[in-house]
Structure 1
Amino acid sequence: MRVLLVSGASGIGRSIASAVVDRGGEVILAGRQRDSLDAAVSELGPGASAVTIDLGDELSITQAAAEIGPVDHIVSLAADHANGPITELDPGAIRKAFDAKVIGPILLAKHFSPQLREGGSFLFFSGVAAWRPAPGLSVMVTTNGAVAFLVEALAVELAPTRVNALSPGIVDSGAWDSMGSGKDTLFADTARTNPVRRVGQPSDIAAAALSLLTNTFVTGVTLHVDGGGRLA
């Protein structure tokens, strides 16, 4: 299994990369920051390599497709947040958010679908925010929600290539560490209200991602791996 993993150098993406390598597969880490990619490749070992891709730059995607060649699966976890009150949002930040979650995945499908091997698939990441709107998160809600509709459209257009989405909930991936003590409060509140009574771990998401990549009878779905967080 040869997997291109966009924005997979840390957190959830790194867990997916490790899972692929542990199964004897090959992972190609992609992103804008080559230093962090190379560091991750060094730790993952001979089953990993890196390529530079900026989802806001179609030329970089074209060049990467030519460099990489045939692959089995494309996974994109890319996100670029534009959070804040709607009256204060910057148009440039909004466009970057859509580049990461919507336009970028469309361009990945455009340039990589011709070179996916038989049985291959795309897996794009949505997020629980799309099903739990909150003030200040309008762009995040919209971009994550768009992913769910995008995979349905692409599953039909690119058939028999499979296209799916994965929507994580609150996961202890390192993304919340900058909150300081606020992280503990968030996690405690999440564990109290989630039906499963805990926050997620990167391994939870990696296991779900591998399932979507390998189950050849699943396409056009958004798998919610959020501990029931969207229901709370």
Structure 2
Amino acid sequence: MTGRLANHTVLIVGGTHRLGAAIAAAASAEDAHVTVSTHAPHDEDTLRIDLRDEASVAAAARHIGPIDHLVSTAGRSYSAPIREMELSRVQEAIAAKITGPLLLAKHFQIRKSLTLFSGQVAWRPGNGSYATGVTNGAIAFAAQHLAAELAPVRVNAISPGIVDSGLWDARGALKAAFLTGAASRTLLGTTGTVHDIVDAVLWIMSAPFFTGETLRVDGGRR
């Protein structure tokens, strides 16, 4: 399908990096009018939205006006044992995944859909997973509650599995073994690609009877 978002206005929060940039490019290919944002833009074509700062969210909403779709890829992963946690880093995770979506819903005039990002760690608790797990889990509840309050605007979340998006490049020589191990724990024997997630986002934006849900794109891993 092409052109399913023709003349729709789309804002990608976190749209300058990795997955966000891929979603922005794909939406543009579907003939949407796309705006991207980051918390510290480097050019005049990028909108500034810092989810830790309500004033920046409100200013961006006034600047851009009504939009059809908003996708937030914002996230701040933080893993540490409870007794070693730094409160400031936990608060950054909360701003990205809990208060951030609240501010976006509060200030932006969204006509069709709001799509948020969760993650599989929400359903796989373990040592050091508190901040990332709880904030990603909160996204699933946020989608349900915002869908009820913002209706008929559709609100959904996507929970990706392990995807080779560049996030794991920091593992260096250990990356390949990590991805192989992750693939072995899925039903399909593989890890995901950026295209898998992008396709899911485009489907959600164009699916008129789908709301209040969290779509798991994880190869069947639970």
Query: What residue number does 1:30 align with?
Result: 37
Whichever residue aligns with residue 76 of structure 1, its letter is S
Query: What residue number does 1:79 align with?
Result: 75
Query: What residue number does 1:102 align with?
Result: 98
Residues in 2 aligned to 1:182 and 1:105: alpha-carbon distance in whole angstroms: 34
Residues in 1 aligned to 2:27 and 2:49: alpha-carbon distance in whole angstroms: 20
What RMSD, in angstroms, separates the aligned Cα atoms of the two structures? 1.2
Q: Does 1:15 align with 2:9?
A: no
Q: Which has the higher helix share?
A: 1
Q: Does 1:180 align with 2:141?
A: no
How many residue pairs match? The answer is 215
Query: What residue number does 1:116 align with?
Result: 110
Can you list the C-alpha shifts for 1:79-112, whole angstroms capped at 9, x where unaligned? 1122111100011111110000110001000001
Query: What residue number does 2:3 align with?
Result: none
Matches within 5 A, 1:54-93: 54-93=50-89
Residues in 2 aligned to 1:17 and 1:229: alpha-carbon distance in whole angstroms: 27
Quote how far apart the aligned CAs of 1:134 are. 1.9
Q: Percent identity?
A: 44
Q: Structure 2: which 5+ runs fail to align?
A: 1-7
Can you list the C-alpha shifts for 1:33-66, whole angstroms capped at 9, x where unaligned? 312xx4xx9xxxxxxx420000000000000000
Q: Does 1:199 align with 2:191?
A: yes
Q: Structure 1: which 5+ runs fail to align?
A: 42-48
Query: What residue number does 1:45 align with?
Result: none
Q: Does 1:154 align with 2:146?
A: yes
SS at match of 1:171: coil
TM-score by length of 2: 0.94
Whichever residue aligns with residue 8 of structure 1, its letter is G
